[in-house]
Amino acid sequence: MADFIDKAKHKGEELAGKAKEHTGKATGDRSLEDEGKNDQASSGLKKAGDKVTDAVEDVKDSFKK
């Protein structure tokens, strides 16, 4: 299974991205808003990778039984 610590880091990156996006919107800083959106997208890809890793591990485990 994907490491719990990695999953927590990816969730933290997502939350930090949301905070940047909202701060950018509130202050009119388009660059910060875009950076926050990019951080969220990056986190989403990492979280998808975690799901793939978990699925592969599940398949491997099913063959061990």
pLDDT score of 2 more than 90: no
- Tens digits of residue pLDDT in 6-63: 999 999 999 999 999 999 999 999 999 999 999 999 999 999 999 999 999 989 888 8
* 32 contacts 61 by C-beta, under 8 angstroms: no
Q: Residue 64 has what pLDDT?
A: 82
Residue of 32, 10, 6 whose CA lies nearest to 20: 32
pTM to 2 decimal places: 0.81
Instruction: Output the pLDDT for position 1.
Output: 59
Q: What's the start-to-end Cα distance of the chain, in Å?
A: 17
